Structure 1
Amino acid sequence: MSTNTVRRPDLRWMLDDVLLPEVRSAVVLARDGLVITSTGRVTDDEADRFAACLSSLQATSAIAGEFCGDQETPAPWQQTLVEFDDAYVFLIAAGTHAYMGVSTSKQVDMAPAIQRFHAVVQKLGAELGTSPRSGDDQP
């Protein structure tokens, strides 16, 4: 594990607000895919796998911003929603070089869930940020 990113179980309480009845798990991760904290029905190993997947998803989504802005100024990435047959994955910018990923069942009431996810991210963004690694130049 990088010396710049340490698992922070003391921050787990911050994710309690996202644990709606249809939320399966939530993870806060650094840009490099390392877990900062997690909660819900997820083991540490599962959180590590989820965070690695989310990091890749964020990088891919951010590149798609090149097609949403003009050639010189790509649209900055803020969030990604992935829909499955019976589930959703929400990925939201949660601070400098940090993201929050949440997995839910398909029965989640999306409007209040997204509102709650963004409230948690806004309220706690400063706590969730991580220091940039050498060569990091993207949010």
Structure 2
Amino acid sequence: MHDTVTGELNWLLNDFAQRVTSVRQAVILSRDGLAVAASGDLGREDAEHLSALASGLQSLARGAGRHFAGGNVRQSIIEMDALLLFVSAAGDGTCLAVLAEAEADAGLVAYEMAVLIKRAGRHMQASPRFGTQVGGERLGMS
């Protein structure tokens, strides 16, 4: 993606994380697990790690949907002691992953994610790439 688009996505993620009080971090990722954009408080290594985890989770969910005739995956939610992890399909080849506090209103977070996906829709198309800037740092191959 172009730096301008990545900058806009980073801005949207920062706004989302600040507006939705229970949200800690958010990342937009390509289907193959590359971080496209991240909220500012998520460092490069954590953005890459969250992207890889979210990609794997979406892949498993898609496999379950295919095998058991469940259809397309809309959202996956993992409930942990201290966090909730949300992963939603966001566009052609992209996902949105969000970490929120365990006490978060899951319905509200999911709704706000859908609003964010609509706001950023035209930018949420990804194919495998290198050299993407996330959270102020350049990701990928140099």
Is the pair's TM-score, using the shorter chain for normalization, greater than 0.5? Answer: yes
The TM-score with structure 1 as length reference comes to 0.80
The equivalent position to 2:72 in structure 1, one of 76, 83, 90, is: 76
The TM-score with structure 2 as length reference comes to 0.79
RMSD: 2.0
Aligned twin of 2:55: 55
Identity across the alignment (%): 27
Does the 8 Å CA contact 2:10/2:40 hold for their aligned counterparts?
no
Distance 1:61 1:98 in 2: 15
Partner amino acid for 1:47? A
Q: Does 1:104 align with 2:100?
A: yes
Which runs of 5 or more residues in structure 2 are unaligned?
130-142
Q: Does 1:127 align with 2:123?
A: yes
Distance 2:11 2:58 in 1: 24
Which runs of 5 or more residues in structure 1 are unaligned?
134-139
Distance 1:33 1:6 in 2: 18
Q: Does 1:29 align with 2:29?
A: yes
Does the 8 Å CA contact 1:28/1:37 hold for their aligned counterparts?
yes
Post-superposition offset of 1:18:
2.5
Deviations, residues 67-96 of structure 1 (Å, cap 9, x unaligned): 442xxxx51112111111121000001110
Aligned twin of 2:10: 12
Distance 1:96 1:85 in 2: 32
Deviations, residues 80-139 of structure 1 (Å, cap 9, x unaligned): 111111210000011100000000111212222211111111222221111479xxxxxx
Does the 8 Å CA contact 1:17/1:120 hold for their aligned counterparts?
no
Moved >3 Å (runs of 4+): none
Secondary structure class of the residue paired with 2:91: coil
> Number of matched residues?
125
